[in-house]
Amino acid sequence: MRVTIISRKYQKEFWFIRPGSSYIFVEIDEGARMQICHGGGETVIYVGDDQDEFNKVCRAWYRAWMRREGGDQ
């Protein structure tokens, strides 16, 4: 599964992929691929097959990252 989020405010592209059955990874502006985690370090996973639900999980992580990091990466 894949989804791309484009941040107009920070001019960054976030590419989310799930290459296996559960772990989600993000690449920010073609940087290193990182496994996504909640703020406390707990891994974010999605095990379903619904693209809309996958999008929701990725967008929720993106919004939390923007609040936490301010898009300064």
How many whole angstroms separate alpha carbon 39 and alpha carbon 7?
Answer: 20
Structure tokens at 67: 């609040």
Find the DSSP H helices in the chain: 51-69
Tell me the residue type at 42: E
How many whole angstroms separate alpha carbon 50 and alpha carbon 27?
Answer: 21
Give the count of domains, the chain: 1
The better pLDDT of the pair 71, 55 is held by 55
Position 70 scores a pLDDT of 67
The separation between CA 25 and the C-alpha centre of its own chain, rounded to angstroms, equals 6
Domain that holds residue 6: 2-69
Structure tokens at 51: 């693209």
Q: Could you tell me the pTM of the whole model? A: 0.86
Query: Under a CB-based contact definition with an 8 Å cutoff, are residues 57 and 44 in contact?
Result: yes
pLDDT digits (tens, 9 = 90+) for 28-58: 998 889 999 987 789 999 999 999 999 999 9
Position 73 scores a pLDDT of 43
